[in-house]
Amino acid sequence: FPNRTHVAAHTCLTHRTVKISIIAVLGAVITLGNVAVLLVISSSVAGWSRNSRYFLLSLTAADSAFGLLVMPLNLLVSLLKDYTEGPDALCHVVAFCNSTVYSTCMYTLASISLERYIAVFYPLQYSTLLTRKRTLLLIAFSWCFPPFLLMPISFPQGIIEVHFSTASLVCNPSYSTNVGYSLSLTCFIFFPCSIVMTYANLRVWCAAKRQRLKLRKFDSARSSRPNVAARVLVPVMAAYYTCWTPCMAVMIYNAVSGSSVPEWIEFVVVWLPTCNGFLNCIFYFWINQSFRRKFRLVVQRMALAACPELAGTLGYCGNSKTQFVSGILDNNNGIHERSSSVSSTCTLLSLA
């Protein structure tokens, strides 16, 4: 029996080390990807309107919170907490932060889908329906409503019990003891956001497909153009449901059945939504040609600013370097921002 206990403890320690390594690597990848995005969209990008940039900045901030807030807090608890101890105030705070960031990310994704739906189907009324004030209010709702809804999780002596899971290394609410509240969270967060995203993106995809078929009838050369709608909308929705559905399904299963899933399944489904924070960088930004062009210009500017000798090597001396850098910025920022309606319509309907 002592040997079996020693082997079990060694196996548990090995699993814990592997899980911490996976979380650390995933957090670093998410943080680096979103920092690069912030460097680019903090200034104007050709073809992106002000409202679109606001929504995308909100999404990037929410995704960055996975790597800068959620993962460090849970790793800190997993390293400091004695597993024999019960729930404490720190675990409640961490669980509240986890749920808030997850919910904010879903609301932000739904807001982006709604903005693009309005831009495509109501281009003439876009500036009236989605003013700057309404855009900021919608973003504020995405960030303020989840903390308000999830506030009971943060109270140590509240109605929601919180425990630290050794399987997923996360402070989780005990949904099995609060079935009604668990189901209400999915009804107010996951299902509404999923419905908005699915409806909006499906309508836009169908409109783009119909327009593409019309273009083929009038010009056979159009058929050789890439299907922009399928390349963007389909991966976005596939990544969303792949990352979020297993987590919600396991949460509902635990609440209804009162039992837990196997260790590694729980670990995967709990941390799978954070992968969406990195996939969003790819689907919303890196496959966009304007974003890649602006990213190269930003990197050139940073390289020239950090290494003046590089400018001399490339043949830019004295004020030439300054002119070169300012020329890069003026060339990009001098472009008048088109409205989101025109940008989205040209991209998704004309496929130009």
* CATH number of the CATH domain containing 328: 1.20.1070.10
Q: Which residues of 255-281 are buried (b: 16+ CB within 10 A; e: fewer)?
A: beeeebbeeeebbbbbbbbbbbbbbbb
Per-residue pLDDT of the chain (352 residues; tens, 9 = 90+): 455 555 555 567 778 888 889 999 999 999 988 888 888 887 777 667 788 889 989 999 999 999 999 999 988 888 876 655 556 788 889 989 999 999 999 999 999 999 989 988 998 888 899 899 999 999 999 999 999 988 888 888 777 788 888 888 888 877 666 666 667 777 888 899 999 999 999 998 888 888 877 777 766 544 455 566 667 788 888 889 999 999 888 888 887 787 778 888 989 999 999 998 888 888 778 777 778 888 888 888 877 777 766 555 555 444 444 444 444 444 444 333 444 444 444 444 443 3
pLDDT at 323: 41
Q: Domain range for residue 215?
A: 2-349
pLDDT at 82: 60
43 SS3 class:
coil
Distance in angstroms between the alpha carbons of the first and the last residue of the chain: 70
H and E: helices and strands count for the chain: 14, 2
DSSP, residue by residue, 120-143? HH-STTHHHHS-HHHHHHHHHHHH
The tokens for 269 are 């489904």
Cα 264 to Cα 112: distance, rounded to the nearest angstrom? 33
| Largest CA-CA distance found in the chain, in angstroms, rounded | 79
Domain count, the chain: 1
pLDDT at 136: 94
Angle at alpha carbon of residue 124, lines to 121 and 128, rounded to 5°: 100
CA of 4: how far to CAs of 1, 9, 98, 263, 320, in Å?
Answer: 5, 9, 36, 19, 72
Q: State the Rg of the chain over Cα.
A: 24
What is the number of residues in the chain?
352
pLDDT at 242: 92
CA of 288: how far to CAs of 48, 104, 232, in Å?
Answer: 11, 24, 9
The tokens for 336 are 């008048």
pLDDT at 62: 92
pLDDT at 312: 55
The tokens for 332 are 């990009």
